[in-house]
């Protein structure tokens, strides 16, 4: 039996995690695995109840679980809260608390959805990339940071806002190992994305990537500046196998890469620490407050995140394949949520999409 902390969060979070839970349970039937789900609050809903977005109880539940399934956090109504009370802070908080420094964001294009992408079919067909994003460092967590008044030469107070883009060599080394191992299990090409032509932190990043590459002679390492990478990703995504990059560059590039696949609602992610520690699985998209409660959100990114849980936390590649292929087959059968719907498709709601995927899992 596996214990899963269910952190549904805000907005569409509860709807999409409910579908992922259903699909996990269906896969559980096939593989004779039992799951015990323990719900816990995170984000705005936690703030409502405990006046903080990441209650200790939630961390405790996450720590004592075998894996964490997270929906999404955030709502416009919290935009005016102090930074430390905002829902997004909970996401950063739990990543830090569980030391989830390695975030894997696979970008694959389902043939069935090629026409949903804004990009030309011949450019994107066959795209299969994993973005390895460092998740607990960089400008997200660096200090000093803040907004403060400084007095200029004329004696006037001027407000400054600042963050610190900082990485220690240890932080770069450990993400490098994850990235090289990921590339090794794939097509053995690793592209490290940085801004080493301008930033010192990137110079260190690149130096260490080169150092660590000596331990992985079978993996071909290349480097790309982040601005160029942003362009290359949509100009020629097929050139990429595994990408490794820092927290903020990875955040931006993964949203960009989701447009290759046609919708932000399709991309899953796994956030991991050292072997044997609890990992967290969540879609890369946000809480979409405008879609909340409408039963229209696309649950596929969360369902595929659950599939990644089967693979990475429970070492069950068969269950991963089963869920992945079930998603593929329902897309082939023409089922589409609103975000990927085109004339002639079968329009389904969030829960109907979950249902047809469950059916496919059970009847494969």
Which residues of the chain form contacts with Mg ion (CB under 5 A)?
A: 251
140 is catalytic: yes
SS3 253: helix
**Residue 359 interaction partner, one of ligand IPM, Mg ion, none, beta carbon < 5-8 Å per kind:** none
**Which residue's Cβ lies closest to Mg ion?**
251
Q: How many CB atoms lie within 10 A of CB 293?
A: 11
Minimal distance in Å, beta carbon 288 to ligand IPM? 12
Euclidean distance between CA atoms 196 and 151, whole angstroms:
32
DSSP E strands, the chain: 2-9, 35-39, 67-72, 102-108, 128-134, 146-151, 157-162, 189-194, 220-225, 242-245, 268-272, 279-283, 335-336, 346-347
Q: Binding partner of residue 265 among Mg ion, ligand IPM, none, CB under 5 to 8 Å per kind?
A: none
Look up 255 and say whether it is catalytic: yes
Q: Shortest distance, CB of residue 277 to ligand IPM, whole angstroms?
A: 19
- For 149, counting Cβ atoms within 10 Å of its Cβ (0-12 exposed, 13-18 middle, 19+ buried), the class is exposed
Nearer to Mg ion, 15 or 251 (CB): 251
Residue 92 or 123 with smaller CB distance to Mg ion: 92
Question: Is residue 32 flagged as an active site residue?
Answer: no
The yes-or-no answer on residue 311 being catalytic is: no
Determine the interface stretch with ligand IPM among 49-57, 87-95, 124-132, 333-341 (rule: CB under 6 A): 87-95
Q: Does 15 bind ligand IPM (CB under 6 A)?
A: no
What are 176's two structure tokens?
């490098």
- In the shown chain, the binding pattern of residues 89 to 128 toward ligand IPM, with x for contact by CB under 6 A and - for none, equals --xx------------------------------------
Nearest in space to 97 (alpha carbons), one of 132, 130, 68, 139:
68
- Six-digit token string for 247: 């927290």
The pair of three-digit structure tokens given for residue 223, joined into one six-digit string: 């480097």
Taking the complex as a whole, the smallest distance from the CB of residue 264 to Mg ion amounts, in Å, to 9
Distance (Å, rounded) from C-alpha 313 to C-alpha 271?
Answer: 10
Min dist CB 220 to ligand IPM, Å, is 28
Select which of 255, 321, 345, 359 is catalytic. 255
**Which is catalytic among the residues 56, 111, 211, 227?**
227
State the binding partner of 327 from Mg ion, ligand IPM, none, CB within 5 to 8 A by kind. Answer: none
Q: Which is nearer to ligand IPM, 93 or 334 (CB)?
A: 93
Q: Residue 94 to residues 43, 70, 89, 106, 208: CA-CA distances in angstroms?
A: 11, 11, 9, 21, 27
Residues that bind ligand IPM (CB under 6 A): 88, 91-92, 251, 284, 286
Residues forming the active site: 140, 195, 227, 251, 255
């Amino acid at each position: 039996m596996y214990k899963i902390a269910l952190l549904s969060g805000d907005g569409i979070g509860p709807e999409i995690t409910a579908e992922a839970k259903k699909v996990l349970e269906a896969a559980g039937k096939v593989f004779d695995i039992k799951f015990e789900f323990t719900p816990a609050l995170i984000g705005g809903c936690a703030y409502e109840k405990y006046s903080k977005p990441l209650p200790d109880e939630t961390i405790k539940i996450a720590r004592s679980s075998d894996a964490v399934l997270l929906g999404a956090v955030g709502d416009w109504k919290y935009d005016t809260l102090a930074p430390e009370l905002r829902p997004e802070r909970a996401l950063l908080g739990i990543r830090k608390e569980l030391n989830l420094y390695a975030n894997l964001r696979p970008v694959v294009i389902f043939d069935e959805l090629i026409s949903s992408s804004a990009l030309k079919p011949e450019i994107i067909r066959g795209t299969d990339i994993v973005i390895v994003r460092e998740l607990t460092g960089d400008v997200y967590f660096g200090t000093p940071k803040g907004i403060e008044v400084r007095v200029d030469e004329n004696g006037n107070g001027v407000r400054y806002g600042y963050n610190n883009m900082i990485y220690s060599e240890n932080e770069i080394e450990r993400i490098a190992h994850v990235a090289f191992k990921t590339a090794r299990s794939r097509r053995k090409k690793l592209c490290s994305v940085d801004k080493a032509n301008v930033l010192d932190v990137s110079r260190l990043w690149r130096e260490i990537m080169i150092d660590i590459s000596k331990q992985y002679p079978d993996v071909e390492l290349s480097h790309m500046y982040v601005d160029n990478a942003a362009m290359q990703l949509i100009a020629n995504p097929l050139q990429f196998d595994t990408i490794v990059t820092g927290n903020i560059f990875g955040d931006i590039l993964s949203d960009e890469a989701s447009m290759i696949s046609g919708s932000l609602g399709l991309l899953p992610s796994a956030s991991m620490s050292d072997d044997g520690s609890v990992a967290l699985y969540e879609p890369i998209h946000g809480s979409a407050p405008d879609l909340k409660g409408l039963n229209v959100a696309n649950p596929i990114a969360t369902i595929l995140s659950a599939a990644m849980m089967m693979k990475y936390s429970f070492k069950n590649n068969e269950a991963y394949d089963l869920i992945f292929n079930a998603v593929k087959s329902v897309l082939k059968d023409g089922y589409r949520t609103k975000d990927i719907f085109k004339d002639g498709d079968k329009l389904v709601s969030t829960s109907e999409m979950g249902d047809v995927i469950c059916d496919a899992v059970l009847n494969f």
